[in-house]
Amino acid sequence: MDERRLKVLDAVVRAWTENGSNPDYTARQQESVRAAMPTLAQALDELVMELKNGHRGSQG
């Protein structure tokens, strides 16, 4: 996978998993996505699991 795609995937995973400065807000927004777009939420969860299990390839 090329470097640009890895950067995009990393950004998506960070946006979905990092709490930022307001964890309560982030949790509420995640729940909103889960309620409104469950397929997207499931895909994001699966992407996070896949990348955390080392299927990402090498990082620079």
60 found inside a domain: no
20 found inside a domain: yes
**Could you tell me the residue range of the domain that residue 13 belongs to?**
3-52
CB 4 within 8 A of CB 60: no
58 found inside a domain: no
23 found inside a domain: yes
57 found inside a domain: no
What's the structural domain count of the chain?
Answer: 1
CB 13 within 8 A of CB 51: yes
Considering only CA atoms, which of 31, 5, 36 is closest in space to residue 47? 5
Predicted confidence (pLDDT) per residue in 4-59, tens digit:
998 999 999 999 999 889 999 999 999 999 999 999 999 999 999 988 887 655 44
Predicted confidence (pLDDT) per residue in 21-34, tens digit:
999 999 999 999 99
As a residue count, the chain comes to 60
Q: What is the per-residue burial (b if ≥16 Cβ within 10 Å, else e) of 9-37?
A: beeebeebeeeeeeeeebeeebeeeeeee
